[in-house]
Structure 1
Amino acid sequence: MPLLSPDPTQLTPLLPNNAQPTLSARTWWGRNWRPIRFFCAIALVCWLVGPWIWGVVVWVLEGGRGGWGDGRHGGQGHEIGKSRVSVGIVGAGPAGIATALALSEHKDSVGNPLFSITIFEQKSAVGGRMVLDFDQNQNPHPSTPFWHGLEIEDIATSELLPAASIIRARFEELGNTAEKVSNGNGNGFKKSASERQGKSSVGFFNGKEIIAQTTRPGHSISWSEWFALVFRYGSSVWKAKHLGDETDKMVAEILKAGSLPQNQHRPSHFPHQRANRKQQTNLTLHSVLATTQLSGLISQSAEDFLAEKGISSAYINEILNPQIWRQIAQDVNEISEVALHSALGKEYARSIGNGLYGVGSFGTVMKSLAGRSGADIRLGREVIGMRREVIGMRRRRGDGEIRGGWEIESKNAGRLGGEMSVESFDQVVIAAPWNISALLAAFGPGSGRGPERDNDQKNEVFYRRVYVTFIVSNDILDAKYFGFSSPLPDEILFTTKEDGNKNNNRRLCQKERDLKGIHEISHVRRMYGPDFDLQAFHMVPESGVEGENISTDAVYHLYRILSDHPLDTRPSADFLKRIFGNGGAVVAVKSVLVRDAYPLLWPRSEREVGELRIAEGLSWTGAVDGVGSGIELAWVVGEVVAGCLEREMHEGIEGGGAGWRNGGDVVRPVHGGS
């Protein structure tokens, strides 16, 4: 009988039942592999959680201001230990957009922006003072334009983006082309349109007849016009020919001088080099003007300069004065030499006329540049006051220093009352007309809250207002009214009298009363019936009856008038009928008051020029308005201010007096200037 293996149940076990080996002991999850399993679990947890724990530790050690992103800019964060500097900009004109765009180019080592930028603009669109908000109270919603149909090009008196424009250069540097940019109607930033000759004829009216004619741009003047001017004014014509040639060069020199310290800036660990950087950071408009050697031109009167050039008073009163007034609303005897060159530079440039440049192109470019800055743009938001942050509310920097800031108080524009909000910023840039005297009165000398200033220093900039009137008509102006044979020049300027105030003592004729306070009448462009929508202009029909005088198959003309008083009132209705020679020609009229239209540019000494930085954490681009006026100059100063803020952040300089420690309100008056 073969020997059979015993049944397992018949064997005496060597180990108790609970210790018998099982098949699972040979797998990786069995008991023999438990230490390895534990080690793997710990390694996985450390790999997932460790960096976050280390980040929190470093964040605490670096001052408790890490860069975790505020969620408002797509969750972008910062380098650990470095906080994003908040900047509030008041005004979305060329200066404000230039500041925002220049600041947005500064990023940390991982590509995150160093500045969090907010722009407050009380109007419905970016672009500055040339944006006219018609009937603002009727449509206060910030996302809806308050007016349609009229573009910035219709308001401008010269070409906005010429070939040498710095704004145009910045726009192209960002990779924008004519094909990429469009305002929805196919009329975007067209290089081909800008390169064409936008000619327009200009007539000079003395109250009785048109006494002289010229052509814009200046180099396009015909030989017949040239000989007629020489016959009437002699050598003054060619002596004044190149007065506006240096404008682009002056603007470029200011940009170069303002950017020089920024180009030389390098982070330094040596005390004596940091002291030098501090001097560069405290860049002033005085130093920029001194570097460009413009101080002498700013202090010299334009009237004295023209006398030295041997230009006759007849040519000044009948030609130069109307041209300058159209650009800056001032006479030759009111302005400096720099203002003279700047105004004539714009006057001798191309005219926008007849939509040749591209309708809406400037507004489109401004909107595109503002969008590229990544700023939070608050349209329809009016800033009504500013105040220093109270010391208990100030925040700490990443390096532990207390950061003083400003609080901006704003409300919805165009609404009476309404909810107001207050926001805090590390830096504030005022890029709009503002009453700086009120600001300095609250925080300046004797207040105990600001840096000491010389009481004789005059930093205020005053402004002259103007009424811009748009007229839609189905006929052109009556040439007989202006003592001229048809057709009339595209633009009519009004000459000044040599006897000045003596005119007030004599009786004025009807035509002189009509034209008193009128400075320019220009034919802007044609509009055609199928494309014409009267309601799009928010205008009131001259007849008072909606739809009357409107024919869909007619050609309409858009005229612009610059004046000292509104022309959409009943007393002005007869005047409009007379200049058109047809009572039914005027379809619609709309006048808009631009309060801070033109800064007064009288000759100033170096001590009378305002500062770009007026207090700790507070900068003012409007200081340059006392020197010159123009969108190119405003853009350049915006870039200069941005460079100062960037250098200040890198060097950790808190300039402006140590006594800025108390809070207080600064309420803006209704308007900053006359």
Structure 2
Amino acid sequence: MNKPASPPPSYTSESLPSYSEISPLIPRSRQYSLSDSQYTTNQKKNIGQILLSYISGAIILIFFVIGFYNVILRGILVDGDDPEIQVVNFKVGIIGAGPAGIAAAQGVRDVVSALGRKFKDGNVDVQVEVIIFEEKSRIGGRMVVDGTDGMDIEVEDIASGAFHADLFNIIGGMTDLEKKEDLIVESEDVGMGKVGHFDTNHIITETYRPYATTPWSHYLSLLWKYGSSVWRAPKIPIGTMKSFNTFLRTMNNEHISISSVREIISKMSQQHTYLSFSIPATERLKKNGIGNNYIRDILAPQVRRHTGQSIEQLSDLALSMALEREEMGSHKAVNNGIFQMMMEKSLRNSKATVRLGAKVKQARWEEVTEDYEAWLLELENATNKDEPPTIETLDKLIIATPLNYTELLGQSKDHDSIFNVDITQDIEYQPVYITFFTTSSLLTSTSLKEKSSSPLPSQLLPIIDNTQPLTSPHNTIIELTFLRPLNPSSSPHDQNQPPTSLPPKYLYKLLTSTPLTLTSLITTLAIPENIIERDSWIQWEISYAYPRMWPWFVGDGNGSGDGSGEFQVGKQVWRINSNGAEGVLGGGVYGAWVLGGLVGGVLGWWLGERWRWRGG
């Protein structure tokens, strides 16, 4: 039987549960109940967060649109509408592939490369083509002689007195010579380091290079003969350099800008009322207490070797520089030709083109087309004079070799193009005659040395004999130097080389102020005739060997106001060797390299200023 259903629950008087007014489905917890004010505050916070999110998103969207336009749309538009990039071409010509010319090419390239980013930012593409014109068959300038008939003559052989470690560091970028054995100093094994000073009869005295290597016994003998001059001589440059350093400090402290050698001289005269390097060398020697016999026997031959002039013709700064080069001596590389290799390396870095065998006859500044003026170089084939001359058009020109400026620039139709130099006053140079010969043994002499069988010092410097004319065989000799052994068997430094059957052979160099025959040399020095190999005797003239120098006084007319110290000498033409520099300081490999790089850098910065005008 079916059971009756249970009755519904009875009602109670308990109140119903309370519900949230926000959501009727969720009960309001008494533990977390919110007041109306708290609820309103939360609502405001939520709205603020939402607004902040919208604002941030809008900002990101704006930056995205801007970036998209700059990177993509602008690139598409520019590519499609022919970009406004200006291509500026400059053609720079350099006359001379010696140290000055190669350094100038490197200087131009270094500065242009440094300004490359600046050009790019200004939408300018600067293309600089550098061409070096060289008359010789290889680079090296005055340090190269052609036609050696198979004799291996390197630039170090010709300029053997001009090389030292600093020069190798600067030119070759060899800041740290890790293999010092690659550069050997003059060795006693072959008489290196010892210099004989001789008169017409015998060797008067011997000195050592560098000075500090002089043995004590020999030093005492010099002291006995020449007195206090022996220890005072090394201090000759001190007075000169003291004044010069004071001037340099003044220039640095006052931030004085100098644009030419002439301006340096002018400023220096204002600071000191005289020029430290305007004092005649003879006056400097007198101030330093150097005796006449020491000057005659030792200093005069040393200075003549480096300058080609007597002490009476020089300034005290030129004297100091010559003696400094004499003291440093000459580092001779085992791997002969290292200087040539370093110049070639620098040439490759400069990306310059070299035209060997190209002799520059004339340079004219002319209007080539309407509104375009340029330098026109007339070139002649140095190896084939029958070929007609060619013309090369250049925007800029650097003269990095000794030339007759009247002949080179004097035919310019626009005479206003040469404005900073009186081209009728060319730099005066003295020639030197250089002779190479080989011997079967080291040279000896039956008269110059007491023991005629012992070898002569590796270098001989003559003492001028005032009783003979300057053109006499004795007085015409400037230097006789043993350079190096040619065969491995005769070289004390090639101990690792295998034995060879070749006979010993030694290379010598002779410098003279006039041509000298082999017979005259043998007679003058009393050299055994059978030692010298007659077939090896080769002689050349180096026309621009020594720039003629003078003591430079303020207001004496030697450059004050004539522009002779300026590097820029006309419209788009610069010169590295100038009366202002070489007329006082002389020439040298080190100075040529430094000045070449300086002038090249000046031209490079000039191109930068040109960019401002054309594209900036």
Q: TM-score, normalised by structure 2?
A: 0.72
- Contact kept, 8 Å, 2:366 with 2:376, in 1: the verdict is yes
Map of 2:220 onto structure 1: 227
SS in structure 1 opposite 2:527? helix
Deviation at 1:615, TM superposition (A): 0.6
The letter of the residue matching 1:313 is N
SS in structure 1 opposite 2:236? coil
Map of 1:491 onto structure 2: 459
Map of 1:475 onto structure 2: 441
SS in structure 2 opposite 1:418? coil
Alpha-carbon distance in 1 for matches of 2:286, 2:532: 48
Match of 1:566 among 515, 520, 525: 515
Q: Tell me if 1:616 matches 2:595.
A: no
- Contact kept, 8 Å, 2:155 with 2:340, in 1: the verdict is yes
Q: In the TM superposition, what whole-angstrom CA distance separates every residue of 1:156-185 from its partner, at most 9, and x where no partner exists?
A: 2325141x33x6235327xx8879xxxxxx
Q: Tell me if 1:85 matches 2:77.
A: no
Alpha-carbon distance in 1 for matches of 2:333, 2:418: 51
Map of 2:598 onto structure 1: 640
Q: Tell me if 1:132 matches 2:145.
A: yes
Distance 1:197 1:595, change over 3 A: closer
Match of 1:349 among 321, 328, 342: 328
- Contact kept, 8 Å, 1:258 with 1:640, in 2: the verdict is no
Task: Note the residue ranges of structure 2 that are not aligned, 5 or more in a row.
Answer: 1-72, 492-499
Q: TM-score, normalised by structure 1?
A: 0.66
Distance 1:52 1:379, change over 3 A: farther
Map of 2:502 onto structure 1: 553
Distance 1:148 1:52, change over 3 A: farther
Alpha-carbon distance in 2 for matches of 1:482, 1:350: 23
Map of 1:26 onto structure 2: none
The letter of the residue matching 2:322 is A
Map of 2:41 onto structure 1: none
- Contact kept, 8 Å, 1:91 with 1:128, in 2: the verdict is yes
Match of 1:596 among 535, 544, 556: 544
Distance 1:202 1:244, change over 3 A: farther
SS in structure 1 opposite 2:235? coil
Deviation at 1:642, TM superposition (A): 2.1
Match of 2:309 among 318, 327, 330: 330
- Contact kept, 8 Å, 2:473 with 2:524, in 1: the verdict is no
Distance 1:567 1:383, change over 3 A: same
Deviation at 1:320, TM superposition (A): 0.8
Q: Tell me if 1:373 matches 2:340.
A: no
Alpha-carbon distance in 2 for matches of 1:229, 1:594: 36
SS in structure 2 opposite 1:83? strand
The letter of the residue matching 1:83 is V
Distance 1:577 1:413, change over 3 A: same
- Contact kept, 8 Å, 2:431 with 2:541, in 1: the verdict is yes
Displaced runs of 4 or more, over 6 A? 46-50, 110-113, 176-179, 245-261, 291-295, 529-532
Identity of aligned residues (%): 27
Distance 1:460 1:151, change over 3 A: same
- Contact kept, 8 Å, 1:200 with 1:216, in 2: the verdict is yes
Distance 1:454 1:648, change over 3 A: closer
- Contact kept, 8 Å, 1:259 with 1:640, in 2: the verdict is no
SS in structure 2 opposite 1:129? helix
Alpha-carbon distance in 1 for matches of 2:521, 2:577: 38
Alpha-carbon distance in 1 for matches of 2:538, 2:428: 26
Alpha-carbon distance in 2 for matches of 1:405, 1:449: 14
Distance 1:171 1:258, change over 3 A: farther
Distance 1:584 1:625, change over 3 A: closer
Deviation at 1:601, TM superposition (A): 1.2
Distance 1:530 1:320, change over 3 A: closer
Deviation at 1:613, TM superposition (A): 1.1
- Contact kept, 8 Å, 2:368 with 2:374, in 1: the verdict is no
Map of 1:155 onto structure 2: 158
Distance 1:466 1:228, change over 3 A: same
Alpha-carbon distance in 2 for matches of 1:255, 1:83: 39
Q: Tell me if 1:287 matches 2:236.
A: no
* Greater Rg by CA: 2
Alpha-carbon distance in 2 for matches of 1:525, 1:243: 32
Alpha-carbon distance in 2 for matches of 1:252, 1:639: 23
Map of 1:671 onto structure 2: none
Q: Say which is worse superposed, 603-612 or 587-596, in terms of deviation.
A: 603-612
The letter of the residue matching 2:504 is V
Map of 1:503 onto structure 2: 468
Q: Tell me if 1:210 matches 2:203.
A: yes
Map of 2:404 onto structure 1: 435
Task: Note the residue ranges of structure 1 that are not aligned, 5 or more in a row.
Answer: 1-45, 59-79, 136-145, 180-189, 265-278, 396-403, 506-511, 533-550, 655-674
Q: Say which is worse superposed, 91-100 or 219-228, in terms of deviation.
A: 219-228
- Contact kept, 8 Å, 1:529 with 1:556, in 2: the verdict is no
Alpha-carbon distance in 1 for matches of 2:442, 2:193: 16
Q: Say which is worse superposed, 299-308 or 247-256, in terms of deviation.
A: 247-256
Aligned residues: 506
SS in structure 2 opposite 1:521? strand
Alpha-carbon distance in 1 for matches of 2:418, 2:371: 19
SS in structure 1 opposite 2:602? helix
Map of 1:662 onto structure 2: none
Q: Within 5 A, what are the aligned runs for 1:53-92? A: 53-55=80-82, 58=84, 80-92=85-97
The letter of the residue matching 1:370 is L
Deviation at 1:52, TM superposition (A): 4.8
Distance 1:325 1:127, change over 3 A: same
- Contact kept, 8 Å, 1:577 with 1:585, in 2: the verdict is no
Map of 1:364 onto structure 2: 341
Q: Tell me if 1:449 matches 2:416.
A: yes
Q: In the TM superposition, what whole-angstrom CA distance separates every residue of 1:11-30 from its partner, at most 9, and x where no partner exists?
A: xxxxxxxxxxxxxxxxxxxx
Distance 1:573 1:337, change over 3 A: closer
Distance 1:451 1:428, change over 3 A: closer
SS in structure 2 opposite 1:480? coil
The letter of the residue matching 1:466 is V
Deviation at 1:394, TM superposition (A): 5.1
Distance 1:573 1:640, change over 3 A: closer
Q: Tell me if 1:415 matches 2:384.
A: yes
Map of 1:3 onto structure 2: none
Deviation at 1:640, TM superposition (A): 2.2
Deviation at 1:357, TM superposition (A): 5.3
